[in-house]
């Protein structure tokens, strides 16, 4: 029996269980509105390391270990680890997990990596290729600024549409059996390029990809936005969220208050001066693991559509004047029945 429904969506045979979710963040996220939900909060952005890049790897390592621990497993019980980040050649991830000794697939989906890793991990489990898969994504504000923008000590102003890269790592353990929320459907996004070139307005660059993904998902499944308790995009921020609402309204879908964006949830612009919101691979990863996962586990959210979003650019492509294509990956996750746990 084919698991594919429609053009871009697959339905998993029995659903893949998210056995555990773990999150670790830096000091700015720890001051934000989601502070109390994070598992680990690190005061020092260097995390005791010499460089921003090694710090990011340590965030990855510590959080991956915690995710495995929370699932009551050992690293040797994990069949595959799938993760990625924003640094060149994904060294944030590879240096972070090298000591875990688990077969590894490195991924790059820019800030949509959490969606990509969970999608592929769930397919591996559903396909019978693995019993346990560890998936995750990370980013580090300082390492990302250094690579994509300017050196940190440079005194510059950021426009109101700019977003703030989240420092941290989010990771989940996916399993064939066990108790926990289930990934039941996966809608894989296509690259959408609407010609946006402003690297200070990533929300606008990625919004069309998110809107296209949502539309494809609704068409494939026959559902509407109102069939979900929560729809959460990854890191579009206030500008991108507004554009998704407008783009989908044109297609006849009403995105109401059930639709939020992880970049809006994680920071408070009024007190934290983060402008349009949070961004980076860790934005959707830590918000899902810390904030939405416990609500799914408790049955407060029955069905959620989680859509990490990514901007597929590099400093070189940007300097050469190329537009910023966007991508989005969607997962339908069903919460536990209330009272089951």
Partner 1 sequence: MDTTKKAQQEYDKMVKQASPNSPIFMNCLKAFISGGIICIIGQLLSNFYTGKDFSKEEAALLVSITLIGLSALLTALGWYEKLGKFCGAGTIVPITGFANSVVSPAIEFKKEGMVFGMAAKMFIVAGPVIVYGTLTSMLVGLVYYFVK
Binding residues for partner 1 (CB under 8 A): 50-51, 146, 150-161, 192-196, 201, 204, 208, 211-212, 215, 239, 242-243, 246-247
Q: Which is nearer to partner 1, 247 or 262 (CB)?
A: 247
Tell the smallest beta-carbon distance from residue 285 to partner 1 (Å). 26
Contact 60, 25 (CB under 8 A): no
Q: Which is nearer to partner 1, 14 or 246 (CB)?
A: 246
Q: Which is nearer to partner 1, 2 or 156 (CB)?
A: 156
Tell the smallest beta-carbon distance from residue 216 to partner 1 (Å). 9
Tell the smallest beta-carbon distance from residue 174 to partner 1 (Å). 30
> What single string gives the DSSP state of each residue in 59-119?
HHHHHHHHHHHHTT--GGG-SEEEEE-SSGGGHHHHHHHGGG---EEE--BTBTHHHHHHH
Indicate the helix (H) or strand (E) that contains 37.
Answer: none
Handedness of CA 302, 4, 309, 118 (dihedral sign): positive
Q: Which is nearer to partner 1, 196 or 336 (CB)?
A: 196
Q: Say which residues have a Cβ less than 8 Å from residue 62's Cβ, sequence separation at least 6.
A: 24, 40, 169
The DSSP bridge partners found for residue 10 are 4, 186
Pairing of strands 168-175, 132-139: antiparallel
- Three-class DSSP category at 311: strand
Task: Using CB atoms within 10 Å of the CB of residue 82, give its burial: 0 to 12 exposed, 13 to 18 middle, 19+ buried.
Answer: buried
Tell the smallest beta-carbon distance from residue 215 to partner 1 (Å). 8
Tell the smallest beta-carbon distance from residue 249 to partner 1 (Å). 11
Q: Which is nearer to partner 1, 32 or 203 (CB)?
A: 203
Q: Which is nearer to partner 1, 136 or 240 (CB)?
A: 240
Q: How far is CA 295 from CA 49, 245, 261, in A?
A: 34, 24, 16
Tell the smallest beta-carbon distance from residue 282 to partner 1 (Å). 21
40: alpha, beta or left, given left = phi > 0 and alpha = psi -120 to 50? beta
Q: Which is nearer to partner 1, 94 or 242 (CB)?
A: 242
Tell the smallest beta-carbon distance from residue 276 to partner 1 (Å). 8
Q: Which is nearer to partner 1, 23 or 233 (CB)?
A: 233
Q: How far is CA 171 from CA 125, 126, 234, 236, 282, in A?
A: 16, 19, 15, 21, 10
User: Rounded CA gap, 141 and 334, in Å?
Assistant: 32
Tell the smallest beta-carbon distance from residue 88 to partner 1 (Å). 12
Indicate the helix (H) or strand (E) that contains 8.
Answer: none
């Amino acid at each position: 029996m084919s698991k594919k429904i429609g053009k871009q969506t697959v339905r998993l045979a029995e659903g893949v269980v998210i056995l555990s979710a773990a999150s670790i963040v830096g000091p700015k996220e720890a001051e934000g509105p989601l502070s109390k939900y994070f598992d680990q909060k690190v005061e020092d952005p260097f995390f005791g390391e010499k460089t921003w890049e090694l710090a990011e790897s340590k965030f990855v390592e510590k959080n991956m270990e915690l995710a495995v621990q929370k699932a009551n497993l050992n690293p040797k019980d994990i069949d595959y680890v799938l993760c990625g980040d924003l640094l060149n050649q994904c060294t944030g991830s590879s240096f972070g997990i090298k000591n875990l000794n688990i077969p590894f697939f490195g991924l790059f989906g820019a800030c949509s990596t959490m969606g990509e890793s969970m999608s592929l991990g769930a397919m591996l489990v559903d396909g019978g290729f693995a019993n346990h898969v560890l998936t995750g994504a990370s980013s580090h504000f300082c390492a990302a600024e250094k690579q994509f923008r300017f050196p940190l000590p440079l005194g510059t102003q950021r426009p109101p549409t700019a977003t703030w890269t989240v420092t941290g790592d989010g990771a989940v353990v996916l399993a064939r059996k066990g108790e926990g929320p289930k990934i039941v459907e996966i809608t894989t996004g296509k690259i959408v390029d609407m010609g946006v070139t402003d690297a200070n307005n990533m929300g606008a660059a990625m919004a069309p990809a998110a809107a296209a993904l949502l539309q494809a998902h609704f068409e494939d499944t026959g559902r509407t936005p109102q069939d979900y308790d929560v729809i959460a995009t990854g890191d579009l921020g206030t500008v991108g969220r507004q554009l998704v609402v407008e783009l989908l309204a044109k297609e006849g879908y009403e995105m109401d208050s059930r639709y939020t964006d992880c970049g809006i949830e994680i920071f408070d612009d009024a007190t934290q001066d983060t402008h349009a919101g949070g961004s980076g691979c860790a934005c959707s990863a830590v918000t899902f693991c810390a904030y939405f996962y416990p609500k799914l586990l408790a049955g407060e959210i029955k069905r959620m559509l989680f859509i990490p979003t990514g901007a597929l650019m590099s400093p070189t492509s940007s300097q050469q004047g190329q537009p910023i294509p966007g991508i989005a990956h969607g997962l339908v996750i069903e919460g536990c029945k209330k009272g089951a746990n």
